[in-house]
Every structure is written in C-alpha cells, then in structure tokens.
Amino acid sequence: SSLSLGILLLLSPGAECTPAAEIKAFSRNNLRKQCTRVTTLSGKKIIETWKDARIYVVEEVEASSGGGCGYVQDVSLDLQVGVIKPWLLLGSQDAAHDLDTLKKHKVTHILNVAYGVENAFLSDFIYKSISILDLPETNILSYFPECFEFIEQVKMKDGVVLVHCNAGVSRAAAIVIGFLMNSDEISFTSAFSLVKNARPSICPNAGFMEQLRTYQEGKESHKCDKIQELEGDNRS
C-alpha cells in the first residue's frame, strides 16, 4: 500500500528527511548533557550544567594548592618602601597606614596623592593631600609645582617625606620621578632608573610616561634658551 511504501522510504538508509521531519523528530532529551568547569574570582572551582534553560551547580571542587586558572586576589600588605634619598621615600597606602613602618623609616611628612585614601595619623605626621586620578589623560604635570614645593620644604627642615598613592606604582612614582628630574637636573631615563631600583614595582601609566618625556623636552628647551641668552650677554 501507499502507507507501507511511505514508511519504508523513511526507514531506508539512503532516504532524505525533510526539514519538517527533522524538527519533529528533535528531542531535547536526546541531547548529550554538557558540563562546564568554572574557576571563580576567589579561586573556587565548580562544575556547571544546563537544565530547563537554567544553570545548575553539579559539583564544587576544592581549589588546588598549586594555583590554577583564573584571577586570585592578592590581599597581602605592601609595606615595601623605596628609599629614593635618605629623606625621600616612595610607597603604597599600606605603608602610609602602618605606624611601625613609618616609625622605622623616621617619616615626618606624608604627601598623599591617592584618590579616596584617608590620612591615618594626623597627630603624628604633617600631611599634604592632593587627589589625583590614575588615568592616562590626567595632567600629572599640573600637580608638579605644589608637590615639589612640599617635598623641598621637608628637605629644608631636615625631615623625611613619604610620597604615596593607592598602590605606589603610578601617580606617586610619576611625582617622584618628576621631582628628581627637576631638582637634580637629570634625564627622565636616569630618574626612572633611580626610582625603579628603589621600588621595582613602579609602573606609571602610559599617559604619565609620555608627559614625563614631554617634561624633559621642555626642560631641555628652556636650558638651551638660557645658554643662548648667556652667550648673547657675553658677546654684548
């Protein structure tokens, strides 16, 4: 019969199924279940699967001691202080909030160029706070005059100043590098090397690095102008 012939065609290995037949024959239950291994931000490892259009946690796996994939937050304190000069120090907010560290380095003044970091020991140290954003587009050079003036005052008073931001790697480092370029009349490369040797973790953002190079070019141009001016006075 025609009905038997239709069934035979559908069961034949070489027969083609129409799209409608494929869709009708589809069953979610026939799909192989997929599991995904996930490492969370805290380092916790879990296995997830889908069921009824929702994600379910199948199993929680203990985080391996050997580390693994994923980001693991570093909650250790950064108390390393870079001694640029006996009276000029560079560090993080952790160092600025640790009284033992400050006493150990005989700190008398603190220049806080962080954003949103409170000064911890107002009765023990002389503070100057300037909120600077750690963004490449921030004009770090505009903060140089007041920062340099504060550092110079500490030097004249035979004090010890700690310059810090949040992490002590970008803003505070750029301020200290600029100060050395200005006070010691050295190049950006030399000043950067001095600071890097004292505190290896420094890494001013790309915008600050470019501005420091521009700062050097401006100083060199000013120096050339002064030399030409002196030569002109000598000839006259």
CA distance 107 to 215: 29
| Lookup: tokens for 198 | 């004292």
165 is catalytic: yes
Number of neighbouring beta carbons within 10 Å of residue 171: 28
DSSP, collapsed to helix, strand or coil, labels residue 30 as: helix
Within the chain, residue ranges assigned H as helices are 2-11, 19-25, 93-96, 99-104, 144-156, 171-183, 188-198, 206-235
Radius of gyration of the chain (CA): 32
Q: Please pick, among 17, 35, 147, 165, the residue that the annotation labels catalytic.
A: 165
CA-CA distance, 54 to 49, in Å (whole number)?
Answer: 8
Contacts of 216 (CB under 8 A, 6+ apart): 181, 187, 188
Residues forming the active site = 165
